Amino acid sequence: MAESFPNLTSLLSEAAKKTAQYDWLDAVGLYEKALAVTGEELERARITSEIGRSYFQSAFQSDSRREFKELMVKAKSAYDSAGALYTSYGKRRCVS
């Protein structure tokens, strides 16, 4: 019987399979689900970075200039969020 609530490991594994198949936007969806099930800040930063990479890669598969730009904006936003999470994590580690 399949799990009704996938765990982090299975979500990340499925996302990795999607990226190996160059199915970037499906990977984004799985990474976003993974974010919902983890509270650990460093892991959230890593997953958010993967979301950025997936949006970036998907932009090069877009059918129009408009879609390309939209995906690049999403990639930048995800990378900015990941950077903020990494910075926050680093600052907390220095204080500890």
Q: What is the pLDDT of residues 61-75, one digit of tens each?
A: 999 999 999 999 999
CA 15 to each of CA 68, 71, 75, 84, 93: distance values in angstroms, whole numbers, following the listed order: 22, 18, 16, 23, 29
Kindly state the percentage of the chain with pLDDT values over 90.
Answer: 84
Phi/psi-derived region of residue 38, left when phi > 0, alpha when psi is between -120 and 50, beta in every other case? beta
- Portion of the chain with pLDDT greater than 70, in percent: 93
pLDDT tens digits, 35-57:
999 989 999 999 999 999 999 99
- If you ran DSSP here, which 8-state letter would residue 23 be given? -
Closest to 12 (Cα-Cα) out of 47, 62, 49: 47
H/E run at residue 32: helix 24-37
Spans of all domains in the chain: 13-87
Across 16-34, average pLDDT: 98
pLDDT over threshold 50, residue 88: yes
